[in-house]
Amino acid sequence: MNAPKLFAELVTSHAIKAGYDLSGPRSGGRKALADDTGISHASVCRMLNGQVIPSAYSLQRLADAIDVPVTHLLEAAGVVSPGALTGDQALLEQPLTIRQAAARLGITKPLNVSLLEAITTTLLADQGATP
């Protein structure tokens, strides 16, 4: 699937969750989204039909309207690579250690971290993998 179609699916899903009725061309949701973002009605229709991706300038207003972080839209639009703005790029390239996973999950008590390590090591060994 091409980038504009994937972008359209992402925006459509979040717009519906945000309360925009996109059930049909006369439902009013496209016009409301256009009004709330300052993007022309025709451009909103082309975007939701997977024909175009809006300019980077418009993405912040779109993100605000559909209640998603602008970084998600910047990444989906191909303006930035995944993780470039959040500093997570290195995390995407290397797997987490069990201790890093524990910290990210908020597991901080030493006994609980040790239990997580033991359980994870056992589960991975059962699958023939290593931590």
pLDDT at residue 108 is higher than 90? no
Place of tokens 């908020």: 106
Which domains are seen in the chain, by residue range? 3-82 (1.10.260.40), 95-126 (no CATH)
Q: Where are the beta strands (DSSP E) in the chain?
A: none
Residues 18-24 have a mean pLDDT of 89
Q: 23-66: per-residue pLDDT in tens?
A: 887 889 999 999 999 999 999 999 999 999 999 889 999 999 99
Map residue 5 onto helix, strand or coil.
helix
Token reading at 64? 């605000």
With a threshold of 0.75, does the pTM exceed it?
Answer: no
Query: How far apart are alpha carbons 65 and 1 in whole angstroms?
Result: 25
**pLDDT band at 19; cut points 50, 70, 90:** very high
Confidence of residue 14 (pLDDT cuts 50, 70, 90): very high
The single-letter DSSP state of residue 23 is S
